């Protein structure tokens, strides 16, 4: 393969290293960007288009967008518009990297417009559903206490599942009921916990007889002292299954997941009168535009207030 036809592959690899080292993006985000770039490169190759940055223009991008619009999943369904946009967002970032950091002549990413997508549908729990979910674990044993503490902490803090999984038992200050957490992009924020969540965590820790560092551990016959029990840490996938298990037990109308409790946390704050900027900080959103999705959810609450209090009912 000549130098021209390998250029984009090399640059794409450099771009991913840049995202990891300079931008401190999470491994999951890097994985997604790698998949999007691989898809673009495979499309170029299958159409015998030179893998050279200076060959990228608006006509080529339009042809690629048509390809994405007709792309099918393994089940034969068209990929969602939001997924199509993620592919294009990745390409725009890649082109901006080439121009800004590598001084390579290519298409100006600002010439690639993103179409508007449908508003995200946010699933959250009302007070009755939330109470049923939180009361679901049987707290007669250590596993039940752990699961109750997990559910309470998710709703109390709005933590992402990866953030919850990474918590250590000495991280929480029970006197001030707060702790620091490192979120996306290694952004550190302060997280507050409710009195109720703090009490359930204390009950869970009091029941534990080990000295493992992780706040939440898995329970199996295998026990390990390596790295202070790091192998015993409860992983995000296990936490997702725990929440799903109790959502079924609580008889919820849909399978809840950790992000459902994060949505419920944000929605509860806004309905109770919290301002959007404060909720943005507590969720760890870099942009307030990400937080604004919750205003669509609270519009329903505003409608109920209007109907209840307006004089001309």
User: One of 184, 189, 231, 245 is an active-site residue; which one?
Assistant: 184
184 is catalytic: yes
- Token readout for 73 is 């999943």
97 is catalytic: no
Which domains occur in the chain, in start order? 3-111 (1.10.150), 127-308 (1.10.443.10)
Does position 126 have pLDDT exceeding 50, yes or no?
yes
72 is catalytic: no
Q: What is the pLDDT of residues 6-52, one digit of tens each?
A: 689 999 999 999 998 888 787 888 999 999 999 999 999 999 999 99
Q: What is the pLDDT of residues 194-227, one digit of tens each?
A: 999 999 999 999 999 999 999 999 997 666 666 6
Q: How far are the Cα atoms of 79, 184, 202, 220 from residue 198, in angstroms, in the given order?
A: 42, 24, 6, 26
285 is catalytic: yes
Which residues are CB-contacts of 214 (< 8 A; sequence separation ≥ 6)? 167, 168, 169, 229, 230, 232, 233, 234
Q: Residue 1 — very low, low, confident or very high, per pLDDT cuts 50/70/90?
A: very low
Q: How far are the Cα atoms of 127, 288, 302, 305 from residue 309, in angstroms, in the given order?
A: 21, 30, 11, 6
Q: Which of 28-37, 74-83, 94-103, 174-183 has the lowest mean pLDDT?
A: 74-83
User: Cα–Cα distance between 157 and 170 in angstroms, integer?
Assistant: 17
Does position 273 have pLDDT exceeding 70, yes or no?
yes
- Token readout for 255 is 């399978």
Q: Which of 165-169, 197-201, 279-283, 292-296 has the lowest mean pLDDT?
A: 292-296
pLDDT value at residue 2: 44
Q: What is the pLDDT of residues 135-149, one digit of tens each?
A: 999 999 999 999 999
Average pLDDT of the chain is 89
User: Cα–Cα distance between 204 and 145 in angstroms, integer?
Assistant: 5
Q: Cite the DSSP H helix spans in 114-224.
A: 127-134, 142-157, 161-165, 195-207
User: One of 233, 257, 262, 263 is an active-site residue; which one?
Assistant: 262
User: One of 92, 160, 233, 263 is an active-site residue; which one?
Assistant: 160
């Amino acid at each position: 393969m000549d130098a021209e036809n390998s250029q984009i592959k090399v640059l794409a690899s450099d771009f991913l290293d840049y995202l990891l080292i300079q931008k401190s993006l999470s491994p999951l985000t890097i994985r997604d960007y790698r998949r999007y770039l691989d898809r673009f490169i495979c499309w170029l190759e299958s159409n015998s288009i030179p893998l050279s940055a200076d060959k990228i223009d608006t006509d080529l991008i339009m042809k690629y967008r048509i390809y994405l619009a007709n792309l099918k999943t393994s089940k034969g369904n068209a990929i969602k518009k939001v997924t199509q946009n993620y592919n294009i967002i990745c390409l725009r970032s890649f082109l901006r990297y080439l121009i800004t950091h590598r001084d390579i002549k290519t298409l100006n990413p600002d010439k690639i417009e993103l179409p508007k997508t449908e508003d995200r549908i946010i699933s959250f729990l009302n007070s009755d559903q939330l109470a049923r979910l939180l009361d679901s674990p049987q707290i007669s044993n250590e596993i039940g206490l752990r699961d109750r503490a997990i559910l309470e902490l998710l709703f109390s803090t709005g933590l992402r599942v990866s953030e919850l999984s990474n918590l250590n038992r000495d991280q929480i200050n029970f006197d001030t009921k707060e702790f620091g957490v490192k979120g996306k992009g290694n952004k550190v924020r302060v997280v507050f916990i409710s009195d109720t969540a703090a009490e359930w965590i204390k009950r869970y820790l009091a029941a534990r007889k080990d000295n493992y560092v992780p706040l939440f551990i898995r329970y199996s016959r295998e026990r390990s002292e390596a790295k202070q029990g790091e192998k015993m840490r409860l992983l995000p996938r296990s936490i997702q299954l725990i929440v799903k298990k109790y959502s079924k037990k609580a008889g919820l109308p849909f399978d809840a997941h950790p992000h459902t409790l994060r949505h419920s946390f944000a929605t509860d704050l806004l309905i109770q009168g919290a301002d959007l900027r404060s909720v943005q900080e507590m969720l760890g959103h870099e942009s307030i535009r990400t937080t604004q999705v919750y205003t669509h959810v609270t519009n329903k609450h505003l409608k109920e207030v209007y109907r209840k209090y307006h004089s001309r009912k």
